Each structure stands twice: as structure tokens, then as C-alpha cells.
């Protein structure tokens, strides 16, 4: 008897078997068999994006807010190319995203015959932006390729992985693989550092009197170990991606105040005699392209051997899972570490000074993080786009308390925030979700607002509206002698746009109205839109590095 189970069914069942409950994308001629199977089985929620770019960002935002796998289905050729921007951002963020796309029929692929959507070397294109890219070349290998792709995406350093499945293979009838019964991905256990490595690490730490941690996304499971080290006398700072690993209102944590343009922090770094960097890149974006002077006595912990000395030089490198390494360190030094008794108290005073000076530099916008924190639940997801407010207070001083709250464009691309926020809202599981964007970024992908509306997501969209590209204007001030060409932007009236979408609209026209206006929006479940009219609140002041004398 012929089987009515196809490769398309295999894709749908495989995803459900590995715990996927939500996917994003667009139905197209080259993925209908797979999406038809998802629809028939009704085990996975499929959110219909307006474009593959938005869908890829949604899958990324979902992965970050859920700490799981994000899944995006795209069309082929131009559709797969549209997804590339989102896949690049997922690669920047080391975000586990599985991109599944089609391909022209096997007999036509790679022959340049001009079949529908037959892009030149689609697999090569995807391979250049993803951690890996695969093609299913026979129905019998579909399960193996999907398994390899998902494992790659979820294995550190994590990242996006693409899979092509030609349209003819999606329709091939196969016997249902018995392996799907009780299926589990063959993920490797976290790599534990050798005992000798941890002994040497402990010896180096025990020689320090003023030790600090710098933790990143690669240490996101190391929260308990980090808090234990803080209790032993360490202080810490986190990368922009490592935010929330320890609640940023902890007086022993600088959060994301790394020191660039902050005299109090830069001065304090000079008195730190050991910096332990765990699961963090020490990225140029956070160190002023490595101009920030960090302690020379630097130890690095990373699961990726390629991280060894990639940015700042280190004096010792431990290859292994950050959580296991820091936990092993804490066990070895507990009761033995002798930290300068004044270290943590001096740190707390420095943090308060740095934060106060930073907020004062923002002028009328200096009260915004406190206003927003006062009205948002402590566990709310804070998604952002690249905009002046995010580059300053959104990324630096708005307090986060859990890594899953932190969703933003790591690659600093404009226009990604709304879609990232939609994906995060789909993963919110009862948590409130807000996305903050500028008008330029919002208008770039405004069509995805209707994705949030159609899917009945709970999302407050805050648009900081200065009628232009404020970030670009600051760069022009610094590099083009203040000539602000091509930076003013005309866009639709946001109240009218909200009415068109059928969602509540709120506007803040004074600085003091920001928090109360967001609070009004939060009273409603579903999608709502908040406009901050910056032309009335006041121009955003120049900020580091644009406020430096040149």
C-alpha cells in the first residue's frame, strides 16, 4: 500500500518532535508541501510575516525571548535573499535560527535553466551568511539533514542554519521514520574544562585583590555561578548581549556601563588587577573599537577556541562552558579569596556616579529609563531598534533582570526592532512586551505591524519620532562638518496609521508624559502604538562619541 506520508510531513513532525511550537514565514510555490503539512497537523503555530526579512527577524526575536530555536520558512530565490538580512543579524547575535527554504526541482537545480525563483547558487549565498547551509539531495536523507542543521544551530557558538529542500522532494512519499518516536536531538553535553585548567584559573584569581567579571551571552546559563562569585567579592560588567544575567540593579554590577565616554568607569578600570571574561567577545562596538583600556591581567573563558585572543590579548585562556568553568572556579576559591575590603563599596559609589553622569548627559531624556521602569513589569521583554534612545539609555541604563528580556539589533542595523519585538511577543508566554524604535526604523518595515495585529499579539510599540534619522544626523555632525544631507524623513501620521490598523494610539508631547503614556498603553491587551513627539519634547542631545571635542 502506497504511503501518504511525505517529506513535507516529515519536516512538520520533525519540528514538533524537537519542541518547536511556533514558526514564522511566508507560503510560496516552493514550500507549500511543508506548510500544508504544518497546517494539517495543527501542532505548530505559524505566524504569517509580510516579508521574509521580517519573518527572519521574528524567528530571531523568538529564539532570544524563549531561549529556544527560532524557525523561519521562506520562499526560494528572491524570497531566500530577502531573509538574508535577518539571518545576518541572527549570526551577529549567535541566535539559534533554523531557516527552511525550498529549491527548484532537483533535475533543474544549479543548471541555470531559468525555472521559477532559480537563483544563482542559492546554497552558496546562504552559506556565506549562516553558520552552515545544507541541501536535502534525496528523500531518504531528509531527517538526517534536518537533524544536523538543528544541532548546528543549537550548538555553541550558536547561529542561523539554512536547509534547502527541493520542491519535488517535498512531495515524495516515504515511510514514516520510526526514529521519530521519542526523538531527541543528539546535542553534545557542555564542554567541561579540565581540572588542571580550573586549578590554574583558581591560582590566578587567588592572587588578585580587586577582581572583576565581564560576562556575555555565551555565559547566559552561568547566572548562579556569577552570583556566587559576586558574593565572594567580585564585581562585574556585562556585554550588551549579556544583559540580565545578573539583575542590573545589583550594586555589584555595572550592567552595560563599560566605560567608553564615562570618566568614572575608565578611572576605576585602572585599579582592577584582574578581569575574567566569560562568554563575551569584548566587541569593538562596546569598547570604542578597542580604545577602552582594560586590565592587562585578563583571563578569558570561552567554549569556542577561536575566541582565544580574538580581540584583547589574554594571559590565560580556558576552553569550556562558561557556567561549568565559573562554577568550578567558585568551588576552588570559596573561603580562600582575599578581596580588598573596600573594593565592592568603592565600586558601588563609582556605579552611582557613572550612572548619574550618564543620565545627566541626556538632557530632557535623562528621566526616560526611570519612567519606563516604573510602569513596566519587572519581567517585561524590552525589544529595541537602533535609535538614539536605545543607543544611549535603552542599551546602557534601563535595568534588565533576565537574559530573555534583552532583544535588540546586535549588528546595529536599522529597521529590525519591530520584527524582533513581534517574534519576542510571540514567545512572551504572559510577559508584557514593548518595542522601542525610531520613526526611521519603524517606517522601514511598518507592514509587519499588521502581522502583530493579525496574530493578536500583546505588544506595545513605542516610536521615538524626530521626523528623521537622528543617529545619522549625529554621525554627520561628527564626520561631515554638520552637513545633514538626506536625513530628514517624511512619514505617515501615526495616529492615522494606528486608526488604519485598528489599534489604540497614544502620544507623549512632554518628557514627563512618557511613563504615564506608556502606562496607558499597557492597560490594553493586544497591539497598541505610542508616539513620543520629539519635536515637542526637545532635540536629543549629542552623546558619546559625538559629544567629544574634535
With contact defined as beta carbons under 8 Å apart, do 439 and 74 qualify? Answer: no
Retrieve residue 381's grid coordinates: 521583554
Domain definitions of the chain by residue range: 7-173, 195-354, 361-537
Alpha carbons 322 and 325: distance in angstroms, whole number: 5
For residue 1, the model assigns a pLDDT of 47
With contact defined as beta carbons under 8 Å apart, do 74 and 26 qualify? Answer: yes
Q: Which residues contact 430 (CB under 8 A, 6 or more apart)?
A: none
Query: CA nearest 130: which of 166, 96, 165, 167?
Result: 96
Q: Which residues contact 172 (CB under 8 A, 6 or more apart)?
A: 6, 7, 139
Cβ neighbours around 512 below 10 Å, total: 12
With contact defined as beta carbons under 8 Å apart, do 386 and 433 qualify? Answer: no
With contact defined as beta carbons under 8 Å apart, do 543 and 388 qualify? Answer: yes
Retrieve residue 539's grid coordinates: 532635540
Q: Rounded to the nearest 5°, which phi and psi values hold at 205? A: -70, -40
Three-point CA angle 57, 436, 362, nearest 5°: 135
Alpha carbons 58 and 54: distance in angstroms, whole number: 6
Alpha carbons 326 and 231: distance in angstroms, whole number: 13
CA-to-CA dists, residue 69 to 224, 277, 517, angstroms: 23, 26, 34
Asked if residue 261 has a cis previous peptide bond (ω within 30° of 0), the answer is no
Query: 93: exposed, middle or buried (C-beta count within 10 Å: 0-12, 13-18, 19+)?
Result: buried
Asked if residue 545 has a cis previous peptide bond (ω within 30° of 0), the answer is yes
Retrieve residue 469's grid coordinates: 534619522
Retrieve residue 538's grid coordinates: 526637545
For residue 238, the model assigns a pLDDT of 96
Total-model pTM: 0.96
Beta bridge partners, 488, equal 468
- Report which DSSP code applies to 499: H
Retrieve residue 534's grid coordinates: 520629539
Fold match between domain 7-173 and domain 195-354: yes
Q: Which residues contact 359 (CB under 8 A, 6 or more apart)?
A: 366, 367, 369, 393, 397
Query: 523: exposed, middle or buried (C-beta count within 10 Å: 0-12, 13-18, 19+)?
Result: exposed
Classified as helix, coil or strand, 549 is: coil
Q: Which superfamily, per CATH, for 361-537?
A: Thiamin diphosphate (ThDP)-binding fold, Pyr/PP domains (3.40.50.970)
Dihedral angle sign, alpha carbons of residues 525, 528, 533, 539: positive
CATH code of the region 195-354: 3.40.50.1220
For residue 2, the model assigns a pLDDT of 59
Written as tens digits, the pLDDT of the chain (550 aa) is: 457 999 999 999 999 999 999 999 999 989 999 999 999 999 999 999 999 999 999 999 999 999 999 999 999 999 999 999 999 999 999 999 999 999 888 877 777 777 767 778 899 999 999 999 999 999 999 999 999 999 999 999 999 999 999 999 999 999 999 999 999 999 999 999 999 999 999 999 999 999 999 999 999 999 999 999 999 999 999 999 999 999 999 999 999 999 988 999 999 999 999 999 999 999 998 999 999 999 999 999 999 999 999 999 999 999 999 999 999 999 999 999 999 999 999 999 999 999 999 999 999 999 999 999 999 999 999 999 999 999 999 999 999 999 999 999 999 899 999 999 999 999 999 999 999 999 999 999 999 999 999 999 999 999 999 999 888 888 898 889 889 998 998 999 999 999 999 999 999 999 999 999 999 999 999 999 999 999 999 999 998 888 775 4
Question: For cell 594571559, what's the residue?
Answer: 315
- Report which DSSP code applies to 94: T
User: In the CATH hierarchy, which top-level class contains the domain 7-173?
Assistant: alpha beta
For residue 461, the model assigns a pLDDT of 98
Amino acid at each position: 500500500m502506497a504511503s501518504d506520508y511525505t517529506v513535507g510531513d516529515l519536516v512538520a513532525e520533525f519540528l514538533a518532535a524537537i519542541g518547536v511550537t511556533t514558526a514564522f514565514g511566508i507560503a510560496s510555490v516552493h514550500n507549500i508541501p511543508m506548510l500544508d503539512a504544518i497546517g494539517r497537523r495543527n501542532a505548530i503555530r505559524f505566524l504569517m510575516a509580510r516579508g521574509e526579512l521580517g519573518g527572519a527577524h521574528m524567528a530571531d526575536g523568538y529564539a532570544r525571548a524563549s531561549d529556544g530555536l527560532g524557525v523561519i520558512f521562506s520562499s526560494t530565490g528572491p524570497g531566500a535573499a530577502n531573509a538574508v538580512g535577518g539571518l545576518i543579524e541572527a549570526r551577529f547575535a549567535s541566535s539559534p535560527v533554523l531557516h527552511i527554504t525550498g529549491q527548484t526541482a532537483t533535475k533543474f537545480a544549479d543548471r541555470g535553466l531559468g525555472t521559477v525563483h532559480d537563483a544563482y547558487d542559492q546554497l552558496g549565498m546562504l552559506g556565506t551568511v549562516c553558520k552552515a547551509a545544507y541541501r536535502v539531495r534525496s528523500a531518504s536523507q531528509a531527517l538526517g539533514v534536518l537533524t544536523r542543521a538543528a544541532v548546528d544551530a543549537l550548538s555553541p557558538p550558536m547561529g542561523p542554519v539554512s536547509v534547502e529542500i527541493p520542491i519535488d522532494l517535498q512531495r515524495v512519499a516515504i515511510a514514516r521514520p520510526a526514529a521519530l518516536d521519542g526523538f531527541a536531538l543528539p546535542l553534545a553535553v557542555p564542554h567541561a574544562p579540565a581540572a588542571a585548567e580550573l586549578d590554574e584559573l583558581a591560582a590566578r584569581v587567588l592572587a588578585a585583590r580587586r577582581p572583576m567579571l565581564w560576562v556575555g551571552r555565551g555565559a547566559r546559563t552561568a547566572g548562579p555561578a556569577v552570583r556566587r562569585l559576586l558574593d565572594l567579592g567580585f564585581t562585574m560588567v556585562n556585554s550588551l548581549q549579556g544583559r540580565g544575567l545578573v539583575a542590573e540593579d545589583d550594586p555589584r554590577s555595572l550592567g552595560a556601563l563599560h566605560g567608553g565616554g564615562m570618566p568614572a568607569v575608565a578611572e576605576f578600570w585602572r585599579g582592577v588587577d584582574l578581569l575574567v571574561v566569560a562568554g563575551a567577545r569584548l566587541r569593538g562596538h562596546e569598547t570604542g573599537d578597542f580604545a577602552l583600556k582594560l586590565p592587562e591581567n585578563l583571563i578569558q573563558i570561552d567554549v569556542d577556541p577561536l575566541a582565544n585572543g580574538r580581540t584583547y590579548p589574554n594571559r590565560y585562556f580556558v576552553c569550556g562552558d562558561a557556567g561549568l568553568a565559573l562554577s568550578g572556579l567558585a568551588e576552588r576559591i570559596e573561603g580562600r579569596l582575599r578581596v580588598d575590603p573596600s573594593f565592592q563599596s568603592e565600586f558601588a559609589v563609582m556605579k552611582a556616579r557613572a550612572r548619574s553622569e550618564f543620565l545627566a548627559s541626556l538632557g530632557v531624556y535623562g528621566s526616560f529609563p526611570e519612567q519606563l521602569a516604573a510602569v513596566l513589569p519587572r519581567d517585561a521583554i524590552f525589544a529595541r531598534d537602533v535609535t538614539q534612545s536605545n543607543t544611549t539609555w535603552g542599551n546602557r541604563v534601563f535595568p534588565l533582570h533576565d537574559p530573555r528580556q534583552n532583544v535588540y539589533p546586535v549588528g546595529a542595523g536599522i529597521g529590525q526592532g519591530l520584527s524582533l519585538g513581534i517574534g519576542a511577543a510571540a514567545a512572551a508566554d504572559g510577559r508584557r512586551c514593548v518595542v522601542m524604535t525610531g520613526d526611521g526604523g519603524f517606517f522601514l518595515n511598518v507592514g509587519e505591524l499588521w502581522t502583530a495585529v493579525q496574530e493578536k499579539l500583546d505588544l506595545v510599540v513605542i516610536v521615538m519620532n524626530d521626523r528623521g534619522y537622528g543617529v545619522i544626523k549625529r554621525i554627520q555632525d561628527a564626520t561631515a562638518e554638520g552637513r545633514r544631507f538626506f536625513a530628514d524623513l517624511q512619514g505617515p501620521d501615526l495616529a492615522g496609521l494606528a486608526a488604519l490598523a485598528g489599534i489604540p494610539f497614544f502620544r507623549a508631547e512632554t518628557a514627563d508624559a512618557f511613563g504615564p503614556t506608556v502606562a496607558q498603553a499597557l492597560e490594553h491587551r493586544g497591539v497598541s502604538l505610542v508616539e513620543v513627539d520629539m519635536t515637542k519634547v526637545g532635540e536629543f542631545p549629542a552623546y558619546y562619541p559625538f559629544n567629544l571635542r574634535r
